[in-house]
Every structure is written in structure tokens, then in C-alpha cells.
Amino acid sequence: MLTHLSKGAFTGYSAGSFPKGAVHPMALQILEQSGLPTVGLRSKSWDEFASGDAPKMDFIFTVCDAAAGEVCPVWPGHPVTAHWGLPDPAAITSSPAEQAAAFRQAFRIIETRVRFFLDFALETQDRQELMRLAALTGKRAP
């Protein structure tokens, strides 16, 4: 989403602390319905991005509610980090309709936060201001 919404100004990556081995089908469906590319997406550990030969990260946003309490890797280059916690839609097990609704809501929240962040991140080069903005985006944007 970050790559798409920033029109290539940023390259977004996604990974997790405990990857499931496959991208959730509902996540893929929502991305496709929203016109976002899904080719090449795969479930992967954030350890891939903590090595010295990984792509350089400028920003790290954790989104899983549980990630705030986890020990995160030391990211090469010391990127700006922020926690944008939200409930894991895959944890909803009550019904397929409720799980789909949870995935749609998570998508909307992340989209809103990314758009808000991009509105300001592309205008500033000040690291302290970007750190403040990154943290603020996770608290203020729905």
C-alpha cells in the first residue's frame, strides 16, 4: 500500500514476527479489490529485513497489537519506528462475514494512516519531526 499510495516515493515491505507461511486469502482479496498488486506477496519473517544485506529501511511501522510488547530486531541504519497497533483480523473466528469485515476495517485503518503519514512525510526531511509524525499517525488516525 505504501509503495502504491506514495507513487513509488517509498517502497513498502511487509513481514511479521511469527509468519504463518502463507498470506491470508482475505488479505489478498481485499488488496485485489482495492486495485493493489498482490503478485509476489508472501508470508515472511521480519528477520529477513534485519540483516545487513536487507533493503535499507527509512521507517518501520508495527501494526499488530501484540508487536508493541515484543522484542523487535535491531534494524540496520536506525530507521524511524512507530507502533500503529490494530487488532489482527485473522484472529476473528466467529464467522467468515465478521472476519471479512475485520479485514476490511484493518485495511481502511492502515490506508488512512499511510495517507496521513504521506501527506506530511513527503514535505519534511527533519528526522525528529518524522519520528513525531510517525508516532502521532498511529495514535490519531483511526
What is the reported pLDDT for 18?
83
User: Average pLDDT in the 116-140 region?
Assistant: 69
> Is 2-140 a domain of CATH 3.40.50.2300?
yes
pLDDT tens string 48-102: 888 778 888 888 888 877 655 566 677 777 788 888 888 889 888 889 999 999 9
Burial of residue 123 (CB within 10 Å: 0-12, 13-18, 19+) is exposed
The structure's pTM equals 0.81
3-class DSSP state for residue 52? coil
Q: Give residue limits of the domains in the chain.
A: 2-140
Contact 61, 80 (CB under 8 A): no
Burial of residue 20 (CB within 10 Å: 0-12, 13-18, 19+) is exposed
